[in-house]
Amino acid sequence: MTAPLGSRQAVLLVAGREFTSQVRSRSFVIGLLVTLVLFGGIGLLGSVIAGQSSNPSLGVTPETSSLRTAVEQAAATQGLDVRIVPVEDGPGRVQVDADELDALLTGSAGDYELLGRDAVDPQLEAVVGTAVQQEALAAALSQSGVDPAQLAQRSQVSTDTLQPVDPDRGERLALALVGTVLLFISLSGYGQLVATGVVEEKQSRVVELLLATIKPWQLLAGKVLGLGAVGLLQLVILGIIGTVAAAGGGLLTVPGAAAGMFAMVVLWYLLGFFLFAALYAAIGSTVSRQEELNSVVTPLIFVLIVPFVLVVNLLPGDPRNELAAVLSFIPFLSQTIMPARYALGVAPLWEVGVSALIALVAVVGVVRVAGRVYQNSILRTGARVTLREALGRPAAQSMTRSRA
């Protein structure tokens, strides 16, 4: 007669089964390759777009060629690299229509025209407008006997900062965005996998056989641990490959920042996964068919999307955004926002520690509630288990009811 399994043995047995079955599956390898191709494609697309949009071309006719120096100075002031091409009016219009020039500056003083094919680059329009205004102002000042150069020198305002400008800000921003995307993909993907596995076992009645030998919480804990380990393994593999590739390509010059962000991603993946996986498992146990699963897990997907959108839209232009700083301490949001703030250098380690502690407390509470929902729902088939029934007193396994 075989002795009953202890709690630790039961949890590790379930976790090992989940880990090995997932790692050996083709979907794990395909998922890794797809994610690597996705990141490579996004990086390549970004470099192509940046290369195409950073160097607009402007044709100047003999009548407007006197503005060339003013245009170059205005473009340099606004950080824009404008390629200026001398051209006659007629051929210039043809080149604009053929997309060989982005715009043509034509006309004469008092009647200048900036001609584009179907639109004019707003940055180029601003540069030309500034150049024309400065040229007109210089002419007016000269007629009044005022030296434009002296006036310009007296009108200059220098810019300085209390702290030195971080030369690695671009790389830190890239690390923050890459880490945010990795966390979003891992948490949403493996959370959904937990819910799908719960419903499959319930639908095939495998769970009834499993619960004949182990307790519901042991099955839930083993499933979450096993799939969490698979997600962590994928995260580590992607992180190492990405770091080595970026360093080899000369894109990464701050290995310390990359190592710090990698540690943050692992920490917040663990906290975020246990938080969301417990909820995914609990919600998945309330339905009996895969067709019903998407409708019940949609709210969780929105909870994951909200901090992702906030990070992508707020932090690149305003890393010290007060709303993002407050939300980075709130569980369900902190797992995405706090590591991005740390990567950008605006969140000290004590803030990370406080936020992680709050998240850990939330994990304990959520796991307790999720465990109760799972225990009350996993053996019920048929109609969806209501929230009131799921949160009621734990039902005995023998009280299995079939509504099918």
Rounded mean pLDDT of 63-75?
A: 87
pLDDT attached to residue 368: 87
Give residue 155's domain range. 53-161
Which is nearest to 393 in space by CA: 370, 367, 375? 375
The reply to whether 307 falls in a domain is yes
Which is nearest to 98 in space by CA: 44, 67, 57? 57
Range of weakest confidence among 79-88, 126-135, 164-173, 279-288: 164-173
- pLDDT tens-digit series, residues 168-217: 777 788 888 888 888 888 888 888 888 888 888 887 777 777 778 888 88
Rounded mean pLDDT of 355-359?
A: 95
For residue 306, count CB atoms less than 10 angstroms from its CB and return exposed for 0-12, middle for 13-18, buried for 19 or more: middle
Query: What is d(CA 340, CA 316) in angstroms, rounded to the nearest whole number?
Result: 10
Same domain for 256 and 312, yes or no, is yes
Q: Could you tell me the pTM of the whole model?
A: 0.72
Angle at 109 between CA 103 and CA 110, to 5 degrees: 95
DSSP E strands in 198-280: the ranges are none
Query: What is d(CA 258, CA 172) in angstroms, rounded to the nearest whole number?
Result: 8
Same domain for 156 and 192, yes or no, is no
The reply to whether 226 falls in a domain is yes
Residue 166 clears pLDDT 80, i.e. is over it: no
For residue 268, count CB atoms less than 10 angstroms from its CB and return exposed for 0-12, middle for 13-18, buried for 19 or more: buried
Same domain for 187 and 306, yes or no, is yes
| Three-class DSSP category at 97 | helix
Residue 353 clears pLDDT 90, i.e. is over it: yes
pLDDT attached to residue 50: 60
Contacts with 204 (C-beta within 8 Å, 6 or more apart), sequence order = none
pLDDT attached to residue 47: 64
pLDDT attached to residue 400: 46
* Selection from 36-45, 69-78, 346-355, 386-395 with the highest mean pLDDT: 346-355
Same domain for 184 and 157, yes or no, is no
- pLDDT tens-digit series, residues 290-331: 888 888 888 888 889 989 888 888 888 888 889 999 999 999
Cα distance from N-terminal residue to C-terminal residue, the chain: 36
pLDDT attached to residue 358: 96
pLDDT attached to residue 351: 94
pLDDT attached to residue 403: 43
CA distances from 380 to 35, 129, 213 (A): 37, 71, 18
Same domain for 104 and 31, yes or no, is no
Rounded mean pLDDT of 358-371?
A: 91
The reply to whether 396 falls in a domain is no
Residue 76 clears pLDDT 70, i.e. is over it: yes
The domain boundary residue, chosen from 97, 130, 161: 161
pLDDT attached to residue 399: 45
For residue 67, count CB atoms less than 10 angstroms from its CB and return exposed for 0-12, middle for 13-18, buried for 19 or more: buried
The domain boundary residue, chosen from 128, 161, 194: 161
CATH code for the domain of 116: 3.40.190.10
Confidence of residue 136 (pLDDT cuts 50, 70, 90): confident
The reply to whether 400 falls in a domain is no
Work out the percent of the chain whose per-residue pLDDT is above 70: 92
pLDDT attached to residue 288: 81
Interior/surface letters 333-359, b for 16+ CB within 10 angstroms, e for the rest? bbbbbbbbbbbbebbeeebbeebbeeb
The reply to whether 397 falls in a domain is no
Residue 380 clears pLDDT 50, i.e. is over it: yes
Which is nearest to 183 in space by CA: 67, 95, 307, 61? 307
The domain boundary residue, chosen from 161, 189, 224: 161
- pLDDT tens-digit series, residues 86-95: 999 899 999 9
Same domain for 368 and 353, yes or no, is yes
pLDDT attached to residue 51: 59
The number of distinct structural domains making up the chain is: 2
pLDDT attached to residue 337: 92
Pairing of strands 57-60, 103-106: parallel
pLDDT attached to residue 30: 84
| Three-class DSSP category at 105 | strand
- pLDDT tens-digit series, residues 223-270: 888 888 998 898 888 888 877 777 776 666 767 777 888 888 889 999
pLDDT attached to residue 330: 94
Question: What secondary structure letter does DSSP report for 120?
Answer: -
pLDDT attached to residue 271: 92
Residue 398 clears pLDDT 50, i.e. is over it: no
Ramachandran sector of residue 270 (left: φ over 0; alpha: ψ -120 to 50; beta: rest): alpha
Question: What secondary structure letter does DSSP report for 65?
Answer: G
Residue 53 clears pLDDT 60, i.e. is over it: no
- pLDDT tens-digit series, residues 3-33: 666 778 888 888 888 888 888 888 788 878 8
Work out the percent of the chain whose per-residue pLDDT is above 90: 13
Amino acid occupying residue 171: E
| Three-class DSSP category at 17 | helix
Higher pLDDT, 391 or 121: 121
Higher pLDDT, 339 or 247: 339
Same domain for 278 and 373, yes or no, is yes
Neighbouring C-alpha atoms within 13 Å toward the C-beta of 72: 9
Same domain for 280 and 199, yes or no, is yes
The reply to whether 206 falls in a domain is yes
Dihedral angle sign, alpha carbons of residues 212, 213, 216, 222? negative
Same domain for 218 and 284, yes or no, is yes
Same domain for 223 and 322, yes or no, is yes
The reply to whether 404 falls in a domain is no
Same domain for 67 and 32, yes or no, is no
Same domain for 139 and 212, yes or no, is no
The reply to whether 237 falls in a domain is yes
